[in-house]
Structure 1
């Protein structure tokens, strides 16, 4: 069965502003759709995306997860661009810093920061969900956890912002993202060479592993870069998206206020609804038969669409509805399989802590002005989101 094709450009401004109707159109066309504008095959149905994320032998990351050769060469040493067994060994290093045992040390810090943030938002009334809210825990907790020097933190955050653009196809956003990424790589290289990281953090442990010869210098810098890009923008995006979703769905906020224990479920639903990283690439190593019988030929670059899968009506009842006590729990917002997000435990902890704290202090969230999204080839986020919080 041959693949249907489409002239839809999923990286156009119009689609990036509101991608979900386009994703549905593509899902309805088939399990695999050849995108003429991108030169890749779109995979957006839940069952097929989940299979692709698990079946690394057929859907390989080793030729890069981006949609242009420049970024795939630059990220050759990044963890997300490796297949097992190389990926397995390197991921083990990362999980020593991000696994449940390591994160137990920051549980109290996260709870305290979440409580203080909720108090501040309730007192402010009108606030920006990005700058006043979403930045707080990812920056305050993750920066310390990794061990970045205090003087470089503002610059590192600025360089990380928007850098996912570099993974898109050749367009203006990609060029802009490459500039930011090059600046970030230069900064990380300097920090590595001068050993200017704080002792005890993930960066220091990774650098020490490199000095012991367990990984190379380039691998260490690549792993640090991959974590910087993923850790900040994605969690910040999810934090702001949660505020937007609760402002749009006051009944769901009432549910959370009535039972703050739903915060963990709410965190998962936020990530399902507004998947921070929308699409990554894989390359097929052999012909791949999809759920509808169509075949993606070997050597094809594939758009693996986490965001489309998370809105697939074949998997989720009423998929465009925000429902924090949804019965279908398994979404792909944090990935799945070998490349499941290494930082997902931390992200869930932060989202759960901050929304459970906010629910005890804020009676209602409502929009207080025009929001703005930063169009990005890969990630989905707000640049401005003014909100009114009515204190409980």
Structure 2
């Protein structure tokens, strides 16, 4: 069957501000929709997105997960641009630092930092949900876990912010993102060559593995770059989004305050609703038949849209409603299959700790005017969100 086509540009300012109506319209057109402005095929229904994430043999990452050839060449050694078996071996290295066993000693640090953060927010009253709140745990915990030297941390954070833009199609945001990415790669190369990282962290272990010849210098730097980009912006995005969602849904905040054990469920629902990483590309290695019978030809670059899948009414009841006691299984905000987010355990720990702590101290949130979006080709995040926290 012929694939339906659309003239919508999913990377335009208007769509990035509020993508949900566009995603729904594309889902309603079919399992696969050809996007004429970018010459890629959009996959947005839950069943098809999940299948694509699991079936790496047909939906391959090895030709890059971006939408332009420059970024796909630059990220050639990044973990997210590898298929098994290469991906399997490299991911094992990363999971040694980010798996449940490795993160167990970090749990107390996260709880203590979350408690101190909430004390500050309760004292401040009016705060910015991004700069005063969302930056704290991802920066404080992850920077130490990876082992970045203190003097480069501000620069890494600045360079990580907006880096996902480089993975978009040719537009002004992509050009800006590439510029920042080149600077970041230069900084990481310098840290690698001079071994200027803190002992005991993930970066030091990765560099040691490279020195032993287990992975190349380029692979080590590529893996570090992937973690810099993924670790900060996505968790920061979810933290700030959680404040906005609870401000807009006070009954759900009351529910969490009544039962703080729902904090883990709340973390998952925040990620489902906002999906900090909206989509990645894949390339089909053979003709791929989707759930409605449509066939994507071999060699097609596709948009695998996690964000659309997470609002698919075929999978989730009232998908646009924020419900922290939602029981539907497996939202795709952390990906799925071989490329499921390596840092998802850490992200869940941080989100659960901080919203659980807030539930004990804050009676409600009120957004002070409209938040400002940081428009990005790939990620969804806020730049500013002035908020009032009313302490108990």
The TM-score, its normalising length taken from structure 2, stands at 1.00
Which residue of 2 is the match for residue 77 of structure 1? 77
SS in 2 for 1:220: helix
Which residue of 2 is the match for residue 42 of structure 1? 42
Which residue of 2 is the match for residue 158 of structure 1? 158
- The residue correspondences of 1:289-368 to structure 2 (distance < 5 A) are 289-368=289-368
SS in 2 for 1:196: coil
Deviation per CA, 1:244-268, whole angstroms, max 9, x where unpaired?
Answer: 0000000000000000000000000
Which residue of 1 is the match for residue 260 of structure 2? 260
Say how many residue pairs are matched: 392
Which residue of 2 is the match for residue 248 of structure 1? 248
Distance 1:319 1:122 in 2: 32
- The residue correspondences of 1:212-231 to structure 2 (distance < 5 A) are 212-231=212-231
Which residue of 2 is the match for residue 140 of structure 1? 140
Deviation per CA, 1:31-64, whole angstroms, max 9, x where unpaired?
Answer: 0000001110000000000000000000000000
Which residue of 1 is the match for residue 23 of structure 2? 23
What RMSD, in angstroms, separates the aligned Cα atoms of the two structures? 0.4
Distance 1:370 1:351 in 2: 23
| Alpha-carbon offset, residue 166 of structure 1 | 0.1
Which residue of 2 is the match for residue 194 of structure 1? 194
Deviation per CA, 1:148-202, whole angstroms, max 9, x where unpaired?
Answer: 0000000000000001000000000000000110010000000000000000000
Distance 2:156 2:13 in 1: 27
| Alpha-carbon offset, residue 370 of structure 1 | 2.9
Which residue of 2 is the match for residue 14 of structure 1? 14
Which residue of 2 is the match for residue 121 of structure 1? 121
Distance 1:162 1:355 in 2: 25
| Alpha-carbon offset, residue 388 of structure 1 | 0.4
| Alpha-carbon offset, residue 294 of structure 1 | 0.3
Distance 1:203 1:151 in 2: 15
| Alpha-carbon offset, residue 105 of structure 1 | 1.1
| Alpha-carbon offset, residue 369 of structure 1 | 2.6
Deviation per CA, 1:202-253, whole angstroms, max 9, x where unpaired?
Answer: 0000000000000000000000000000000000000000000000000000
Structure 2 gaps, min length 5: none
| Alpha-carbon offset, residue 318 of structure 1 | 0.2
Distance 1:38 1:261 in 2: 44
SS in 2 for 1:199: coil
Which residue of 1 is the match for residue 386 of structure 2? 386
Which residue of 1 is the match for residue 149 of structure 2? 149
SS in 2 for 1:360: helix
Structure 1 gaps, min length 5: none
Distance 2:278 2:144 in 1: 27
Which residue of 2 is the match for residue 97 of structure 1? 97
Deviation per CA, 1:4-54, whole angstroms, max 9, x where unpaired?
Answer: 110000000000000000000000000000000111000000000000000
